[in-house]
Structure 1
C-alpha cells in the first residue's frame, strides 16, 4: 500500500483514537517502522499530525476541530461515558448541561429521566430533550455560535447566575497533565466558570482523546470537579492527584460496565 493510501487511514485512526503509535501502525499496514516514521514525518510537516515520542497525536492549536468531526470522534466512548454519567443523575433535580458533543450524549441518556429541570446553553441539547415530556427546559440567552449551537457571552453567564443547580454536567476541549480543563473560546470559558460557581455538584464528561489535545484557555482544575467520567484510566500521576483532591474518577469502557478507579 502506497503512502497516498496510508495517510488518510492514519489520520482516521488518529481522529478515532486520539493518538497513533509507530509500532501499531507498522503492524496494521504490514510495513516497516521506518516507513511509518516517514509517513508520520510527512503528515507532521503538512500540519496534519503532531509528532510525539513513539508516534503522533492530533495537532494542538488555538482553534478547535469541526463540530461534526468531533461528534464522530470516539463516538462509542462518549456513549459509554454518557450512560455511566446518566446513571448517576437522580430524578427530580435541576441540571445544567453545557456545550459539547459529550454533553449531547448525556442528554440522549436522560430521555427517560423524570421531573428534571434542565438549563442549557446548548441548542442541540435542548432539541434532544424536547422528546422528554417530564423535563422542563430552559435555554440561556447569549450569542449563538452557529458552528456548534452554543450560546456564549455575557448574557449566557448572567442567566446562569440566576440559578443554583443541584448538578452540572460539563465537557471541555482538552485536559492537561496537571489536571487543568482547557478550552478554545474565552467566552465559553467564562460561561463554564459561572456554571461551576452556581452548581452544588459537578460532573465532567471527557473521553481519552481530551488527554492528548491542548487548548489555550483554562477553565478550572479537576480539583474543582466532584466526578470525572472517562473511558480509559488516567496517567498514574494524575490519578494520584485526583485521589488527593477527592475527585472521583469513573472509567466507562465501551465494552465494559463502568468501574471506579
Structure 2
C-alpha cells in the first residue's frame, strides 16, 4: 500500500511542479507526519526537494513526441537494435519494450525465426504480424498515442504468469543513482513487473540517455544483466557494471 502511495505521490508532485504539504495531506488523506516520511524517501531518489511549506519537482517530466525521438540519434539506435536482435534465438519467449530504440529490434530479425513476443508496443505488433513464425502477445489495456504503446495499471498478475527468457528494455533516462527511469505511471507498472520476471534483462540505451533522470524509477541499474549502448560509458559506469556483473556491449555506428 505504501509503495503505491509513494509512486502516486511522486507522480502528483511532478505533474504540479510545486505543491504544499497541506494539499498533499488533503489529497492522499494521510497525516502530515506520514507525508513528511514519504517525502524523505522520495527525496533520496533525487526527483524532488523541500521548499518552504511544501516540495517541488527537480526533473523534467515532459515527454518529447515519439516522432521526434525516433529521429534523434537514429543511427545509434539502429546499431544498438541490430546487436540486440543478434542475441535472440529460436524458441525464445521475449519481451520487447515500447520505445524508439527497441522498435528497430524486430526489423533486424531473420524472417524464419520462431519465437514468442510479449510487448506493449503498437509498432512491434504491426511488424511482428508480418512474420510467419512469431507468436504475438499484448500487454496493456489502454492505448497511449504519444508513445504508440499500450499501458495499464495493476498488470502484475497478468504478466507474472509468463516465463520470459529475455526482456529488451528502454528507458527515458539512465543513471547509477536513479536507475532506469521513465515518465509515465502506467508504463512504470508494466516495466517494473517485466524486469522482475525476466531471466535476462537487456537495457538498450544510447549515449544521450546517461547521467539523467525522469519521473519514475522502474528498476535499479544493478537489476539489468546486459547493457547495449553505442559509445564508451561515462566515468564510473564501467566500474559499476564490472562490480555488479553487468555485461556491456558497445555497438558503434558503421557507415
TM above 0.5, yes or no, is yes
Instruction: Give the length in aligned residue pairs.
Output: 198
In the other structure, the counterpart of 1:134 is: 133
The CA deviation at 1:229 is 0.4
8 Å contact from structure 1 (residues 141, 155) kept in 2: no
Cα RMSD after superposing both structures: 1.9
Distance 1:191 1:218 in 2: 12
**CA shift digits 1:20-41 (9 cap, x unpaired):** xxxxxxxxxxxxxxxxxxxxxx
In the other structure, the counterpart of 1:86 is: 85
Q: Mapping of 1:51-130 within 5 angstroms? A: 61-112=60-111, 114-130=113-129
Q: Specify the SS of the correspondent of 1:182.
A: strand
8 Å contact from structure 1 (residues 143, 151) kept in 2: yes
In the other structure, the counterpart of 2:233 is: 234
**CA shift digits 1:123-158 (9 cap, x unpaired):** 111101111111011112321112122111225444
In the other structure, the counterpart of 1:16 is: none
8 Å contact from structure 1 (residues 232, 252) kept in 2: yes
Distance change in 2, residues 1:201/1:91 (3 Å): same
In the other structure, the counterpart of 1:214 is: 213
In the other structure, the counterpart of 1:169 is: 168
In the other structure, the counterpart of 2:183 is: 184
Distance 2:175 2:111 in 1: 34
TM-score (norm 2): 0.73
TM-score (norm 1): 0.71
Q: Would you identify which runs of 4 or more consecutive aligned residues in structure 1 move more than 3 Å?
A: 155-158
**CA shift digits 1:74-107 (9 cap, x unpaired):** 1100110011111111111100111111110112
Identify the range of structure 1 (168-177 vs 244-253) with the bigger mean alpha-carbon deviation. 168-177
Which blocks of at least 5 consecutive residues in structure 1 are unaligned? 1-59, 257-261
Q: Specify the SS of the correspondent of 2:254.
A: coil
Q: Specify the SS of the correspondent of 2:180.
A: strand
